[in-house]
Structure formats: structure tokens, C-alpha cells
Amino acid sequence: MNTISYHAALVYVMVVVSAADGSMSEKELQAIGELTRRLPVFNDFDRDRLLALARDCSAILQEGDGLATVLALVRDALPDHLRETAYWLALEVALTDSKVAMEEIRVIETLRHALDIDRLVAAALERGARARYQTA
């Protein structure tokens, strides 16, 4: 199996969640671009590679066991201290278009297990993400 950078792993996480319901909405794509522009973890990321990384991830997802392959690449590429960041990014992308599909929930739960995110930590991240997108 090939290895990917931690930047690629974080992008893959966002793409996987965005594609989980069968389509990547414009809002989700914009959110991915915005997150890679403003978060410190992406300070040294070559943003010109974003589209290529998204395409690479999408191609892997089209293979027979694509999701498992992507999650294994992500798990191997991410240092422990960035696993919670990856989970938070997944939540951000899922909540961007104000409708979280069951497929996205399943992918996020699978991601939590793949990255060995503690359930209490996950719950805290989920609550924080929900609060961020709460409307009156």
C-alpha cells in the first residue's frame, strides 16, 4: 500500500465524508477549500494539490474496498495528535450543508473507529461542531 502525507490524509477525510451520500455539494467543496486555507495544520500545504488529492481519493473510493483502503491510508499517515483534528474536519464538512445524511453518519462513525477516537472525545467534538452550526 502506498503512503500519503498527513495533509493528503486530512483532505482524504474531508472528501470521504463529502462523497458519502453520493455527491459532493458545492458548499462542501467550498468548505474543504476554506478549511485548507485557514487552519494552521495546513499552513505549509501546497493548495495547488487540493484538486489532485480530491481526485486521487475519489478514484480509490471507486475501487472494490475503497473506503477501507482510504481509511487505512489515513490511519497510517496521521500522527496521533492529528487524529482528533481529522475527526473534527469530517464533522465540519458533514455539517456544512445543514443536512447530514445517514451515509455521512456511517462514514464518520467508521472513521472514529479507524482512528481510534475515544467515544467521549468524539462526543465532545460532535457537540462543539453542532453548536457552531446552530441556528435560531
The answer to whether 60 and 69 have CB atoms below 8 angstroms apart is: yes
Q: What is the pLDDT along the chain (136 residues), one digit of tens a residue?
A: 568 999 999 999 999 999 888 878 888 889 999 999 999 999 999 999 999 999 999 999 998 899 999 999 999 999 999 999 999 999 999 988 777 778 888 999 999 999 999 999 999 988 888 777 766 6
Dihedral angle of Cα 60, 71, 122, 31, to the nearest 10 degrees: -30
**Cα separation of 4 and 79, whole Å?**
12
Specify the 3-state DSSP secondary structure of 121: helix
Residue 113 lies in a domain: yes
3-state secondary structure of 36: helix
CATH code of the domain covering residue 83: 1.10.3680.10
At 23 the pLDDT is: 78
Q: Is residue 33 part of a domain?
A: yes
124 assigned to some structural domain: yes
In a domain, 36, yes or no: yes
Predicted pLDDT of residue 1:
54
Looking at residue 9, its amino acid is A
Domain span holding position 38: 6-132
Domain-embedded: residue 103: yes
The model's pTM: 0.92
Count of structural domains, the chain: 1
Handedness of CA 117, 90, 92, 79 (dihedral sign): positive
In a domain, 1, yes or no: no
Distance, in Å, from the CA atom of 135 to the CA atom of 8, rounded to the nearest integer, reads 32
